Structure 1
Amino acid sequence: MQQSETLLIEERMTPVKNPSVLVIGGAEDKVQGREILSAFFERSGGSQAHIAIIPCASREPEATAERYRRIFYDMGAAAIDVLDIRERSQGEDADWEKQIDHCTGVFMTGGDQLRLCGLVADTPLIEQIRRRAQLGDLTLAGTSAGAAAMGEYMIAGGGSGESPNRALVDMSTGLGIIPEVVVDQHFHNRNRMARLISAIAIQPDRIGIGIDEDTCALFTGDGCFSVLGKGAVTVIDSSQMTYTNQPIVSATDPVSVHNLKVHIMVHGDRYDLRHHRIAAPMG
């Protein structure tokens, strides 16, 4: 694209001004209705969208980026950039920050959340993305690993199919986009309920959110999120927890957790993070 064409596109773009963070459970529909990807595209500006794809969580970033680039190109995005970050120093490059200044949407792909955070956590680049997302200047989405990294603390790995226990989950520091949550993805598809409960027993001041495949928790600036997609979002709320033996048992012993509140939410349901309760549907 010629520089003059890029300038014309930037001149006709309008700010998003609608704080939106899409936390996607992975394996979102990329072929048929593309409901979740279409929601990201429209909230990024539709035909005026300037989208940046960050594929560095993937071991095959070029192929991963190209797949999403083709999808958003077919939808009609005005401009698409790929931030192919291979070294942490790239996240500290002022030129990359300037590139984000012109974007209306940022999409973080799946892969390995530890790899993603190792490359971009606490860099000026991610700080710029977080600031603009919170101001409503861009729409941010992350799928699978990109979703797992959204909290201040994240599930970096672990197992499934056991009773909750400390050894079932590996915790690490996330990107802090939505600090109050701990996200698990591919949730019911991979039997991760015990893993998320184990994580919340370790971090009881956070809200656990388990997101199924082809399902999205759409966070907005009013402190709520709504559910999009074909599966469910499971909320683990420990705000009224009365007891856990987590600090005193060995890593492989079952964890006891009393008075957890669990919500299973589907398309159209909303949850109020600030007041720890189901919210009225939009509209």
Structure 2
Amino acid sequence: MLQLESQFSPQRMSQSTKTAVMVIGGAEDKVHGRQILHTFYNRAGGTDAQIAIIPCASRDPEAIGHRYQDIFTDMGAKAIEILDIREREQGQDSLWQSFIHNCTGVFMTGGDQLRLCGLMADTPIMDTIRIRAQLGEITLAGTSAGAAVMGQHMIAGGGSGESPNRSLVDLTTGLGIIPDVIVDQHFHNRNRMARLMSAIAAYPDKLGIGIDEDTCALFESSRSFQVIGKGTVTVIDPAEMCHTNYQDIGTTDPLSIHNLRVHILSHGDRYDIHKRSSTTESH
């Protein structure tokens, strides 16, 4: 698998379009300003955009696929293909593979991240999407479940409203688009701070990113992301964590996690993953 450092090679980007990986917290505005969806459309090429929609996380993939198809058609996309994948074997469909090899944008919808990974992980289509996204050849967006799968490790489920503990979060393998992060979505809207902290206690070599609804962490390079949208992105940074009792307690016992750093970022703020530092829009 390509490492994070090889993402988004500038020489592979179009002169007119700067590609990105867009990690969306869910419930993005689909009716009024459509800020995040317009950003995806523009970064995928605007009127030259050839967009693949992957709705297989949804319980009703046909309906959700057509909803996004209508949105991007109204915006003026050149071509749109719905990859209505319901069996793993379809992940090697030659016609869909051909479209993925030539498309400019891929949009993964919300639903169940376990279903999305179960159908798409290690398929030729997803391997191509991951490599092209990491090379900066396409703009890739995932909302809700489509955001949760971005890391090498994925939050598959869990609770809220409790103190951090091992049973609060269910972790499994994600799609590894951005291997260094663990993503949680609908973040403050569903009170998920404690479960993201619990996930980071399990994998302290990762960076926790909690994204609110109608909010996006937009990765333009391997080093940093910027925040767009109406909510916030919470960063849980364990780089200076000096103690946790994670390995020594029962599954429902409260966790000790010492010296975590927490950043709350809003629209226009940026975060450098390697320097572990944030900047505001004015800087």
What TM-score results when the alignment is normalised by the length of structure 1? 0.93
Task: Give the partner amino acid of 2:49.
Answer: A
Report the alpha carbon displacement of residue 43 of structure 1 after superposing the two structures with TM.
0.2
> Structure 1, residues 64-89: CA drift from partner, whole Å, max 9, x if none?
00110000000010110000101111
> Structure 1, residues 230-281: CA drift from partner, whole Å, max 9, x if none?
0000000001100000000000000000000000000000000111111464
Of 103-112 and 91-100, the range deviating more from structure 2? 91-100
CA separation in 2, counterparts of 1:115 and 1:16? 35
Task: Give the partner amino acid of 1:277.
Answer: S
| Local SS of the residue matching 1:131 | helix
> Structure 1, residues 19-58: CA drift from partner, whole Å, max 9, x if none?
4100000000000000000000000000110000000000
CA separation in 1, counterparts of 2:277 and 2:229? 21
Number of the residue aligned with 1:265: 265
Task: Give the partner amino acid of 2:196.
Answer: L
Task: Give the partner amino acid of 2:141.
Answer: A
Number of the residue aligned with 2:133: 133
CA separation in 1, counterparts of 2:95 and 2:247? 46
Number of the residue aligned with 1:234: 234
Count of paired positions: 270
Report the alpha carbon displacement of residue 92 of structure 1 after superposing the two structures with TM.
2.6
Of 52-61 and 96-105, the range deviating more from structure 2? 96-105
Task: Give the partner amino acid of 1:58.
Answer: S
Distance 1:88 1:15, change over 3 A: farther
Number of the residue aligned with 1:224: 224
| Local SS of the residue matching 1:128 | helix
**8 Å contact kept, 1:16–1:136:** no
What TM-score results when the alignment is normalised by the length of structure 2? 0.93
Of 240-249 and 16-25, the range deviating more from structure 2? 16-25
Task: Give the partner amino acid of 1:270.
Answer: R
CA separation in 2, counterparts of 1:98 and 1:209? 33
| Moved >2 Å (runs of 4+) | 14-19, 92-96, 279-283
Report the alpha carbon displacement of residue 222 of structure 1 after superposing the two structures with TM.
4.5
Report the alpha carbon displacement of residue 95 of structure 1 after superposing the two structures with TM.
3.3
Task: Give the partner amino acid of 1:39.
Answer: T
| Local SS of the residue matching 2:248 | coil
Unaligned runs of 5+ in 2: 1-13
CA separation in 2, counterparts of 1:155 and 1:273? 20
> Structure 1, residues 213-238: CA drift from partner, whole Å, max 9, x if none?
00000001251000000000000000
| Local SS of the residue matching 1:247 | helix
Number of the residue aligned with 1:66: 66
CA separation in 2, counterparts of 1:39 and 1:18? 11
> Structure 1, residues 93-135: CA drift from partner, whole Å, max 9, x if none?
3432211012100000000000000000111111101111122
